[in-house]
Amino acid sequence: MKRSKKKQFHEFMSGKGLKSTRQRDVVLDCFLASDRHMSTEELYMKVRAKNPTIGYATVYRTLKLFAESGIAREIHFGDGQTRYEHVAEGEHHDHLVCTRCGSVQEFENETIERLQQEIADQFGFQVETHKLELYGICAKCRQ
């Protein structure tokens, strides 16, 4: 699982004639070891803990590469922080975002995915990705 994303990223890099570096490996390890929805700042903190000489710019640039390579996707939960989430090929999940404690629960639903496709077809629209987020109060916060 982790191995394959690492491989996917390295293949993307060499395919593009880009270089694998110590810094990028540290960022990749931190990203893969992380919770699925980490803000750029949180990731930067983890990276610094492993190697304090790595700069913010490198983290930003590396995350963009992750997105290009397909192992990550940028997401916004509306709190002003850009986050990146893991992408597993062929899989898509949506989110229940608690507006009280900030926790994020993922879910998948085939029927919704199919309905989305139908709607898009009605409009002659070709879907590339989608985003479905439900905001509210999670079970824990409701007691």
Q: Can you give the binding site for DNA, defined by CB under 7 A?
A: 13, 17-24, 40-41, 51, 53-58, 60-62, 64, 80-82
> From the list its own copies, DNA, none, which binds 125 (C-beta under 5 to 8 Å, kind-based)?
its own copies
In angstroms, what is the minimal distance from the CB of 3 to its own copies? 30
In angstroms, what is the minimal distance from the CB of 81 to DNA? 6
Distance of CA 16 to the CA centre of its chain: 21
Q: Which residues contact 127 (CB under 8 A, 6 or more apart)?
A: 116, 117, 120
Of 112, 103, 106, 104, nearest to 130 by C-alpha is 112
Site for its own copies in 35-94 (CB under 8 A): 74, 76, 78
Q: Whose Cβ is closer to its own copies: residue 56's or residue 135's?
A: 135
Q: Whose Cβ is closer to its own copies: residue 52's or residue 110's?
A: 110
Q: Whose Cβ is closer to its own copies: residue 55's or residue 136's?
A: 136
Q: Whose Cβ is closer to DNA: residue 58's or residue 138's?
A: 58
Asked if residue 94 lies in contact with residue 133, where contact means CB atoms within 8 angstroms, the answer is yes
Task: Tell me how far CA of residue 52 lies from CA of 56, 88, 93, 121, in angstroms.
Answer: 10, 30, 34, 50
In angstroms, what is the minimal distance from the CB of 95 to its own copies? 9
CA separation for the pair 101, 123 (Å, rounded): 37
DSSP annotation of 114 reads H
DSSP annotation of 79 reads S
**Which residues would be at the binding site for its own copies (CB under 8 A)?**
74, 76, 78, 96, 98-99, 105, 107, 109, 111-112, 115-116, 119-120, 123-139, 142
